[in-house]
Amino acid sequence: MSNGDHMSLQAIHDQLGAVLEDRVTELMTHIKTAQALSRQIARTEEEIERQRRLRETLEADLGPMRKEADELAAATEQLASKVKGAKGAVERLKALRDELSAMDT
């Protein structure tokens, strides 16, 4: 093999090495990007699961709270009715007092 052929083969070898190195570098960049995306997907899936569990917990807590709210609304209605009755009794007592005061004079 002549020196010129050897130099030509060496140049081709060097070019192929450079192309291979570029391709490997590009591949490593894609692998790193894919790994980062995989980690992001895993974190997103974990967050989705955490949010799902939180929603289930909140929904479970909501049932008793709704029941308690209904009970409190009923108790409020009863108290409002009692207050209305008490106000009526006060008005009747005031009228009776005024009537008695008028009789004394």
| pLDDT tens for each residue of 79-89 | 999 999 999 99
pLDDT tens digits for range 12-29 = 999 999 999 999 999 999
Please report which confidence band the pLDDT of residue 102 belongs to, taking 50, 70 and 90 as the band edges: confident
Does the predicted model carry a pTM greater than 0.85?
A: no
Q: Coil, strand or helix: which one is 1?
A: coil
- Separation of alpha carbons 11 and 68, rounded Å: 85
Q: Which residue has the higher pLDDT, 77 or 99?
A: 77
Q: What is the pLDDT of residue 104?
A: 75
